[in-house]
Amino acid sequence: MLSRDDYLKLRLKERFIKLDKTEEERATALHEKLPIVDLHSHLVFPHRDDFDRQRVRNSGVTCFVEAVAVLSENFYESMFELGSVFHFVKKQPGMGLAFCAEDIRRAKREGKQAIMAQFEPQTIGRNLNNIEILSGLGVRMMMLTFNTRNYIGDGCAENQDTGLSYFGFDVVKRMNEVGMMIDLSHCGEKTTLDAIEASRDPVLFNHTGARSLNPKCTRLKKDEQMKALAEKGGLMGISAVPNQLANTKRQGIQDLLNHVDYAVKLIGINHVAIGLDNVFGDQVANHRKMMAQGLIDPAKAGMELNADYMEGIESPEEWPNITRGLVSRGYSDQEIEKIVGGNALKIMERTLK
């Protein structure tokens, strides 16, 4: 196994899954033709220094749903960061903002790339009116909790999970009213199930995986949660976070595809998508730095930092490898279209006002 430094010296195509000529042509054509949506990304925040416009182009992704992640609980600091993200995106050639599914389809027709804003973690404090402010400013998705407890409910790394608070139920109702997508990726088990039941609209786990494939990791979702999500018409995005989908020394695209396969078999092709949650920088090194600063503790969510990178999907630039992987695993063109973007567009059309 190569070190991360040696791996990054490989040409992009050398990192990809090997296909025969027919598969190669099919995968390339699909990736170029289809509108592709990454449901959870960190291109801009906090990685502006790593932003490489050409590498973003190489991804072939039509829309990245960008997570504005401010660790401060100050709502106005979050507003400042949101404005900074929007300003940064508008300066990038061939990029723009998306506020609905049609904006994404238009970007595809025009050969452009789009950014849609979500909030991670939730920073509204105890003021429901902040949800309407976020919606008015252009935020189209919000996570209810991060790893720990807040006024809404409990996160996946808490030692207890009491579910949604009364305020949390009000938040779900207000998000439904304004037409904002609800993300439960970091929520605890009962909080997740409470939110699914309480929501009028379908909800998302936009960057996670199946707990059955890595039982130690509480950031992943159990079968019960996945089935409840699907019964409500929701969507599960499979991530590529190092040391989340597996605990082995060598991790990568095959782990992501294993979680896609599992989810498709358990809850159906119409409820599976992709939300990579990866970056262009060294994500594992960043996790270790944040651990040293006391900002995160992956161990509380059952994550062991065994792997140094994700082979074949180390950054958003390697997104074409997902399409290639789906071809290699025997998915049809129609099934691939749903997973890489079609399902995401459908839930946007259903929930966004």
Sign of CA dihedral 161, 298, 210, 202: positive
Instruction: Look at residue 246 in the predicted model and tell me its pLDDT.
Output: 97
Give the pLDDT confidence score for residue 128 in this predicted structure.
Answer: 95
Question: What pLDDT shows up at residue 123?
Answer: 78
* Burial grade of 109 (CB within 10 A; 0-12, 13-18, 19 or more): exposed
Please say if the pLDDT value at position 49 is more than 80. Answer: no
**CA–CA distance from 78 to each of 72, 154, 168, 176 (Å)?**
8, 21, 20, 22
For the chain, which domains are there?
A: 16-351 (3.20.20.140)
**CA-CA distance, 82 to 157, in Å (whole number)?**
26
- Please determine, for residue 71, whether its predicted confidence score (pLDDT) is greater than 80: no
Q: What is the pTM of this model?
A: 0.96
Query: Given pLDDT bands bounded at 50, 70 and 90, which one contains residue 145?
Result: very high
| Residue 165, number of CB atoms within 10 A of its CB | 17
- Encode pLDDT of 151-198 as tens digits: 999 999 999 999 999 999 999 999 999 999 999 999 999 999 999 999
